[in-house]
Structure 1
Amino acid sequence: MKGEAGGDTAMKSGMTPDPSNPYMASETDMHDKMMAAKGTDAAEMWTRKMIEHHKGALSMSEVALKETDDAMVREMAQKTIDMQTKEIADLQKMLTDEGKAAQ
């Protein structure tokens, strides 16, 4: 996401886009969505917040894959995408198994 150092999401949060931080949009989006995630009880709320947290990790990992040639970082970013994608599916299943809407 070169050149998208925060975009509209950062502006909505009152943050100034920072070209030196390619993760700002991902960070801000994750924060906003985690804060908005609600549930009828602590378990549902935790599950919904963790889904957004994991989606944020996916977004940041995608930025890392695009922005760096560092082999170790790229390997860890890809592992993160693989693991967090599975965990998001598991968390979604937890919601639907309880009769809740997936997110």
Structure 2
Amino acid sequence: MSATDSHPVSLSVFFPCWNEQEAIEPLTRKAVDVLESIGADYEIIIVDDGSTDRTGEITDRLAAENKRIRVVHHPTNRGYGAALQSGFRAASRDWVFYTDGDGQF
């Protein structure tokens, strides 16, 4: 749906990630660009699964810059399945999309 439609797409996008300090910011910024261009009612949720690099710091900064971005932090690495569960639980829009935080897909 485009911004000219009467009901914009209501979409939660989330990225499970672990130690993705190089990939998570470009991925998130690209997602914002695309979602803004289609006029979606959106939120972006980044699930930091206990990263030991700068992923948490970077994602917190992104969230501070954009109220549509939220971060869920796992204090320790709980694994991919737990990161997916956290993302689905945090999602609040009608539709949910996820892709891995490394941006390969």
The structure whose RCO (Cα within 8 Å, separation 6+) is larger is: 2
- Do the structures match in fold with TM over 0.5? no
TM-score norm. by structure 1 comes to: 0.30
**Structure richer in helix, relative to its length:** 1
Task: Choose 1 or 2 for highest CA Rg.
Answer: 1
